[in-house]
Amino acid sequence: MSQDSCNAVYNTLIKRYASVKITTIDNLLDLDALVLRRPDLVFLGMTFIPMDSKLGFRDPNKIWIAAYFDEHGIAYTGSAQAAHELQRDKPSAKRRVLSSGLMTSQFFVIKQDELINRSAITLKYPLFVKPKDRGGGLGIDSNSVAYNFEQLAAKVRSITAIYHSDSIVEEYLPGREFSVAILKNDSLSGFTVMPIELVAPVDKNGIRILSNKVKTSNAEQVFEVINEDISSIVNALAINVFLALGGRDYGRIDIRLDEDGVPNFLEANLIPSLISSYGSFPKACMFFGIDFVSMIMRIVELGLSRCMENTEETLQTLIPISDVMATPSNVAA
């Protein structure tokens, strides 16, 4: 979660709760200090902290925030550790999707120190290349679509140099792109599934890619999915992927059509951007009549419902004395 998302959540909650604080987590000491305060709920805005800050994403000894809270009996919003691990590692997420009988493009992984063998590339070009563990479109640009081995190798080298990340290489999907917001209705019933179509500007190569530049500048167009057949199959894939990954309460599933018009899973984000009129999740909610305040309050209430056995009526009377934390993500890549 970005600082802007954190501020948007805080500004919403401070008007409705007696005690709301922003807690910055840089290390284990910060995390332990939060646990000692025993908040009623943490609005989770990050997935892990590295034991070695110099390694960042590459640290094999990550402390997963959700698991740490579970261990210490602290309630939090959103999904648990296992789902966050799958979401963070794109190849693992795709393997889980495939093993669940769901559609995603074929892929392979090229490690940072791996010598790329031209003859080992068995998937047909064009191929799509991106970092295996970054979100927000990081590492995605006009060079992400490789039409030959030389372009593939160059993009992998770029990802290694800039992000110190392995690369995931996928069959390129040329069709329309959709982002599906998923939000649980309440503590007892099912989910509201909200698809929107995203259309990026045409890049220098004449293709539309939701790159980091497009996402950060909010340059993509957003459209309601009017065709009921497309909406139905996109929604079905999205909710099934969400559940296969172990998603809980809310999240975003990105989908793109292949050359035959078949929806394929791209990636998931279980802590999406939460800024009014920015980011696919809030935009999708708005399309379906859920305003920003209602969206944030729904997420909070779902988190609180897991730590209370009270009825909804009792829960509403307890909300004003809750100490709800908004935690920004500040882990360096």
pTM over 0.75: yes
Query: Of 322 and 69, which is predicted with more confidence?
Result: 69
What pLDDT score does 79 carry? 95
Indicate if the pLDDT at residue 261 is higher than 60: yes
Give the tens place of pLDDT for each residue, 119-148.
Answer: 889 999 999 999 999 888 888 999 999 999
Which residue type does 322 have?
S
What pLDDT score does 120 carry? 86
Cα diameter, the chain: 66
| Numbered ranges of CATH 3.30.1490 in the chain | 107-171
Is the distance from CB of 116 to CB of 156 less than 8 angstroms?
yes
What pLDDT score does 320 carry? 31
CATH code, 84-104+173-287? 3.30.470.20
Dihedral sign for Cα atoms in the order 19, 24, 25, 27: negative
pLDDT confidence band for 51 (50 / 70 / 90): confident
Residues β-bridged to residue 333? none
Q: What is the mean pLDDT of residues 297-313?
A: 74
Indicate if the pLDDT at residue 59 is higher than 90: no
pLDDT above 70 covers a percentage of the chain that reads 89
Indicate if the pLDDT at residue 308 is higher than 80: no
What pLDDT score does 318 carry? 32
What pLDDT score does 305 carry? 87
Alpha-carbon distance 139 to 285, whole Å?
27
What pLDDT score does 56 carry? 66
Number of CB atoms found within 10 A of residue 279's CB: 23
pLDDT above 90 covers a percentage of the chain that reads 65
What pLDDT score does 160 carry? 94
Q: What ranges make up the beta strands (E) of the chain?
A: 19-22, 41-43, 48-50, 62-64, 107-110, 127-131, 145-146, 167-171, 177-184, 191-199, 221-224, 250-257, 263-269, 323-326
Please provide the average confidence, as pLDDT, over all residues in the chain.
Answer: 87
What pLDDT score does 309 carry? 44
SS3 state at 244 = helix
Cis previous bond, 272, omega within 30: no
Indicate if the pLDDT at residue 319 is higher than 70: no
Indicate if the pLDDT at residue 211 is higher than 90: no
Class of domain 107-171: alpha beta
